[in-house]
Structure 1
C-alpha cells in the first residue's frame, strides 16, 4: 500500500508533522482547513506556508468542507483529522431519508469515507465525545460507530492523556483508529481474543501501554451489536463507553484501562522554557489582584432564570503553575486574562509571566516557531489551543506504518 494521507480539519498541520516525523515517506495528497466566520484564515496560512511546495494544498484546501467535491480528493490509504465535537443527532426528512444536522462535520467525514474508502482512518476528538449528550449518554459516539460499521470498518479507540506517557501537557483526547474489513489487519483482529487486543496487541496497547498486572476480565463482554439504522441509533442508543474499546463486525466491547509504562522519561513545564523572554509577557503588578481572584477559590451567590438562588463554587488552581509538573491543558483562550491561562514564575527573573507562543508550541511538540509565519501572538496561542500533541500522533503513525507495510 502507498503511504498516502488525506488530512481533514488540518489546523496548522499537527497530524502531518507527526506522520512525517514517524516516516518522511508519508505523503499528504490533500489537506483541508477552513475556519468558519474568519476573514483571516490564519491557521490555513500557516499550513500553506510550510507545506504548499510539498503537495496536498489545492484550491479546495481552504473552503467549507461541505462544498468540496470528493472528486477533488485523490485516493489515500489513511484519512486523518481532528474534527469538532458537536451534536451528532440525525433527523428524518421524509422521502429524503436521513441527513445530518446542518453544520455537523462528522457527516462530511462520512461522505468522504463512503466515496474514497481508505483502508485506515485516524481521528482525534475531546474525550467527552464518549459520554455525549448527557440526556442520552453515549449516543454521539454510537452514531459514529454505526456509520463506520455500515461502511465496513472495525474500530479501536482509546482516551490518551499525553502527560501520562511522558509528554509535557496534561491533554486528554480520544483517538479513533478504524480499519476496513478488507484489510489483513481487520482479519487479524477478528481472530484475536478481545482482551489480547485491548491489553497487548492492538494499535494503542502496543504504543501506549496499559497496566497488565490485573485480571483481564475488566472488559464488558456483553456483546452490544450496533444497528446499521443510523436513525434508530440516534433516537434510541445509549451505552456506557469506557476509555478503551473495540468494535468488530458491529459488536462493541469496552474496558476501563489505566495507563502503563510511559513512552519516554517525563518532560515537565520547566524543561521547555525560553530564556531572555520579552518584557511584554510579564504580568503588570497592577493586574495581580485580578489574577489572584481568577485563580483562587470562589463561592458566588447566583440566581437562575426562574429565580432559584444558588451558590456557584469554584476551586482554586495553582498560581503560578508549577514548573516541576507537566502543563495543564492549553485552551484557545491562552492569550487572554483568563483563569485557564498559564502563569509561571520565570526561573531567571523570579517574576510572573505568561507562556510565550514558542513555549506553547513546545508543549504540543511542534517545531520551534512553527506558527511564526506572520500570525499575531493571539492567533498563535489560538492555534496551539486547538492543536493536538504531535508526539502522540508520531507514536501512532509509527504503528500505522508497520500495519500498512504488512498489508
Structure 2
C-alpha cells in the first residue's frame, strides 16, 4: 500500500507539517521528510476574498494543480486522486439530517456543513484510513440532545464499513507548550489488516493498550467505568433516525466497531511539559509591547456585572480572575484566532529582556503549535498570522500519529 494522503481544510498545512516532520531552512526553503506523499489538498476560505492560508500552503509546499482553492462542495469527488489516508480538521457544526421533500427515502444534511463533504469523499473513494481533528465539544453537542452529532458521524462511518477510535488529547499533557484540547478521530476500513487485527481485542484493550492512541498517547490502566452506545441499523434504521432519536454520553476515549461504541474517561501518563517561557523570543520589536495596561487589568480581573436578558430578565454575570501576566513556567493557554487583540483571552507576557508586558509574537504563536519559525511569514499581516495559528493544530500530535500510521501501512 502506498503512503498517499489527501488533506482537507488544509489551512497552512498542519497535518502535512506533522506527518512529514517539515522544517524550514535559514533561507526559507521547505525541508520535508518523504514519509507520506500528499497527492491532493483543498483549502478555501468562504468569508474573505484574500486566501492567505492557501497562499501560505502554496508558498511552503510549491505550486501544484493538486492544491485546490475552491469550495469543496463544488468539486467532483471522483476527480480526487486515490489515497490511503484522508486527513483534515473540520469545524464543529450542526450534523442533523432530514428526509428530502422530493424523495421520502432520500437523506440530506444541512447545507454548508463540511462533514457531509468528508462523508461524500469517503463514500466515493473509500480510503483505508482516516484521521480527523475537531474541538472536544463535538462529543457532547448539541446541548439539547447530547452526543447526537458524534453519533451521526459514527453511524456514517459504520455504514461505510469503518471502525473508529477517538481520543481527546490535551497537547500539554504530552510535552507540548500549549493547553490545547482537541478530539482526534481515527477510522480504518474493514478491508484492512489493521481492522482484522484490532477486532480480536476487547474494546477496553483497544482504548487502554492496543489502539493507535493508546500506543502513542499513553494513559493509566485504571479506568473501571465504560459507557456503551448502540447505533446499529437494528436500533436506528437510518441516519435520520439517529439524528432524531439518538442521545448518549461519549467519554474522552473510545472505540466503535460494527455499530457498537464503548468509551471511557482516561487519565494521561503525562510527560514533562514545555513552558510558555521556553518559546519566547529575545529582542522583540517595540510594536508588540502593550500600551493599555488598565484595560487588560480589567479584562483579566474578576468581575460581577448586572445585565438584562433579551426577555427582560435581570441577572449578574460574573467571571473569575486570570493570571496577569501569563505564567511563564506553565504551558500557554489555548490560542484563539483573536490572539493579540485587546480581549480577555489574549496572552500577555513579561518580556525576558525588558520585563515589560507585551503580546506574544507571530513566531511565538507558531512555536506554540510546533510549526517552524516564520512558517506564516508569507506576505500576510501579523493579525492574519495569529488567526492562522488560532485555527491550527499542534503539529506534534499528527507527527506522532503519522509515524504510527506509517507502521500500520507497512503491514498492509
Sort the TM-score into its range (normalised by shorter chain): over 0.9
User: Paired residue for 1:194?
Assistant: 203
User: Paired residue for 1:330?
Assistant: 335
Distance of 1:296 and 1:91 partners within structure 2: 46
CA contact (8 A) 2:300 2:321 kept: yes
Query: How far 1:228 moved relative to its partner?
Result: 5.6
For 1:134, what is the secondary structure of its paired residue?
coil
CA contact (8 A) 2:4 2:39 kept: yes
Distance of 1:15 and 1:131 partners within structure 2: 25
Q: Which of 375, 380, 397 is matched with 1:375 structurally?
A: 380
CA contact (8 A) 1:166 1:266 kept: yes
User: Paired residue for 1:259?
Assistant: 268
User: Paired residue for 1:72?
Assistant: 79
Q: Which of 102, 115, 118 is matched with 2:111 structurally?
A: 102
CA contact (8 A) 2:171 2:180 kept: yes
Distance of 1:225 and 1:66 partners within structure 2: 28
User: Paired residue for 2:45?
Assistant: 35
Distance of 2:110 and 2:387 partners within structure 1: 27
TM-score (ref. length: structure 2): 0.94
Distance of 2:237 and 2:40 partners within structure 1: 29
Query: After superposition, what is the alpha-carbon deviation per residue over 1:191-240, rounded to whole angstroms, capped at 9, x for unaligned?
Result: 1111111111100000000012x2x5322357564646100000000000
Deviating 4+ runs (over 3 angstroms): 55-58, 221-228
Query: After superposition, what is the alpha-carbon deviation per residue over 1:343-375, rounded to whole angstroms, capped at 9, x for unaligned?
Result: 000111000000000000000000010000001
User: Paired residue for 1:317?
Assistant: 322
Distance of 2:239 and 2:230 partners within structure 1: 19
Query: How far 1:71 moved relative to its partner?
Result: 2.5
For 1:253, what is the secondary structure of its paired residue?
strand
CA contact (8 A) 1:149 1:228 kept: no
For 1:274, what is the secondary structure of its paired residue?
coil
1:75 to 1:224, Cα distance in 2 relative to 1, 3 A: closer
Indicate whether 1:149 and 2:158 are aligned. yes
User: Paired residue for 2:247?
Assistant: 238
Distance of 1:57 and 1:327 partners within structure 2: 36
User: Paired residue for 1:179?
Assistant: 188
For 2:21, what is the secondary structure of its paired residue?
helix
Query: How far 1:335 moved relative to its partner?
Result: 2.8
Q: Which of 8, 19, 34 is matched with 1:24 structurally?
A: 34
Distance of 2:3 and 2:156 partners within structure 1: 25
For 2:144, what is the secondary structure of its paired residue?
helix
For 1:336, what is the secondary structure of its paired residue?
coil
1:36 to 1:118, Cα distance in 2 relative to 1, 3 A: same
For 2:294, what is the secondary structure of its paired residue?
helix
**Higher helix fraction (1 or 2):** 1
User: Paired residue for 1:130?
Assistant: 139
User: Paired residue for 1:13?
Assistant: 13
1:166 to 1:56, Cα distance in 2 relative to 1, 3 A: farther
Q: Which runs of 5+ in 2 are unaligned?
A: 23-32
CA contact (8 A) 1:224 1:253 kept: no
Query: How far 1:261 moved relative to its partner?
Result: 4.0
Indicate whether 1:269 and 2:276 are aligned. yes
Query: How far 1:306 moved relative to its partner?
Result: 1.2
Question: What is the Cα-based RMSD across aligned positions, in Å?
Answer: 1.4
Indicate whether 1:140 and 2:145 are aligned. no
For 1:74, what is the secondary structure of its paired residue?
coil
User: Paired residue for 2:407?
Assistant: 402
Query: After superposition, what is the alpha-carbon deviation per residue over 1:67-86, rounded to whole angstroms, capped at 9, x for unaligned?
Result: 11113210000000000110
Q: Which runs of 5+ in 1 are unaligned?
A: none
Q: Which of 157, 160, 167 is matched with 1:158 structurally?
A: 167
User: Paired residue for 1:93?
Assistant: 100
Q: Which of 203, 209, 213 is matched with 2:212 structurally?
A: 203
Q: Which of 289, 293, 297 is matched with 1:288 structurally?
A: 293
TM-score (ref. length: structure 1): 0.95
Number of residues of Structure 1 aligned to a counterpart in Structure 2: 398
For 1:300, what is the secondary structure of its paired residue?
strand
